[in-house]
Amino acid sequence: MSRRLDRKRAILVQRLSIAVAALWILYVLMALFNASGSTSSPRTGNPVLTNFSAIKGEIARIRVTQADGAYTLVKGDEGWVLAESGNYPVIQDQIDTLLAGLETLSWGERRTSTPERMSFLSLGDPREDGNGTLVEVFASDGAKTAEMITGRRNQYTYARMPDEMIAFRVRGELPPMRTREAWLDLDIVDIEPSAVSAVRLTDGSGQSVYLTREPGSDARSFRPAPPYQDYVVTNPLAVSTTALAVTRLAPLDVKPVEELTGRAVSRHISQTFDGLEIDLRAWQQDDGFWVTFRAIEAGEGARRARTINDRAEPYAFRLTEYDWQEFAPDISRLVEPAAEETAPLPPSDFQP
């Protein structure tokens, strides 16, 4: 009996110790993020960028700086673009979210005024290798009209003025701003797999093949067509993968086509049953794997090609190496010439 009571007491003491430790940790965290002893502030409820509504119509560019680099969103004649990506268009919904967020963002509870604790809220100054994000707004004349440092920790957004060491939790939403690539509107080609009728390939060795299929057939129905009708498919899965590669085109980044060096290593021309053609070339560069492409279309529906070319022709697009390989296959691993038929040998006891 005494052993059982001792065990119960030990369990009780253990649970009480855990509870005390948890309360102590909670106390430390509260002290850490509320060193001033108060969360109230005259700013609470006021806009973070007090003059943003007044200057919103005059904004010419927004610069976002982080410790590992910076990028600039520029308002052009036809919409917002990313300067560091050759003035490539950005996703309009994200710009709308950013502008609305900057306008409606308001101060919430005051969190800390201790400089050493800014990094705990992702509010370190990125110009000093801190982990925050500096947002600067400029007018068309180059004047800076608004700025703040913002950061996110768990589900909360925090902000402070760059020249102050007073951190606040803020109310409102901002789009993700950690990477330049996340702003790029790279959804250019939208083709369903069932729409692809044919593909013409030329690899780095100069070998070519033309593959077609009938409407309604499955992905593994591509077969060599004239003048390659005597070739046979040796790897149906690899053939269907490269034949439908354009339907999975998913660029990661973009740069002006003038920055490419050397020559393309392969050519991949996709055709659809309704007459759209995507002529793509694959490039291997020191900074990754890139493709360039243009659309060709005849007749009244040529507006699809124009829409694609307005975005695609001045630029090169970076892919993962895995995706890039689908546009630059070794043709000898897809098809091969059919073996020549030879007459059967006569039996050993044949007499002419």
Which one of 183, 201, 217 terminates a domain? Answer: 183
Across the chain, mean pLDDT equals: 89
How large is the C-alpha radius of gyration of the chain? 31
Is residue 77 in some structural domain?
Answer: yes
Which one of 183, 217, 238 terminates a domain? Answer: 183
Tell me the per-residue pLDDT of 75-89, one tens digit each, with 9 for 90 and over. 998 899 999 999 999
Which one of 183, 216, 251 terminates a domain? Answer: 183
Q: How many helices (H) and strands (E) does the chain have?
A: 6, 19
Tell me the per-residue pLDDT of 276-298, one tens digit each, with 9 for 90 and over. 999 999 999 999 999 999 999 98
Residue type at 179 in one-letter notation:
T
The pTM is what? 0.80
One domain for residues 168 and 254: no
Query: What pLDDT score does 296 carry?
Result: 95
Is residue 46 in some structural domain?
Answer: no
- Residues 125 and 113: their CA atoms lie apart, in Å, by 14
Is residue 323 in some structural domain?
Answer: yes
One domain for residues 163 and 123: yes
For the chain, the 3-state helix, strand and coil shares in percent, each to the nearest 5, are 30, 35, 35
Average pLDDT over residues 311-322: 96
One domain for residues 282 and 304: yes
Is residue 143 in some structural domain?
Answer: yes
Is residue 5 in some structural domain?
Answer: no
One domain for residues 68 and 118: yes
One domain for residues 154 and 283: no
One domain for residues 108 and 80: yes
Tell me the per-residue pLDDT of 40-67, one tens digit each, with 9 for 90 and over. 678 889 999 998 989 899 999 999 999 9
Tell me the per-residue pLDDT of 220-269, one tens digit each, with 9 for 90 and over. 999 999 999 999 999 999 999 999 999 999 999 999 999 999 999 999 99
One domain for residues 133 and 222: no
One domain for residues 310 and 277: yes
Residues 313-322: b if buried by 16+ CB within 10 A, e if exposed: eebbbbbeee
Q: Give the percent of the chain with pLDDT over 90.
A: 76
Average pLDDT over residues 178-191: 93
**What is the number of structural domains in the chain?**
2
Is residue 99 in some structural domain?
Answer: yes
One domain for residues 212 and 300: yes
One domain for residues 322 and 198: yes
Neighbours of 94 (CB within 10 A): 19
133-139 and 196-202: which strand pairing? Answer: unpaired
One domain for residues 150 and 201: no
One domain for residues 208 and 246: yes
Query: What pLDDT score does 26 carry?
Result: 58
Show the domain range for 162. Answer: 52-183
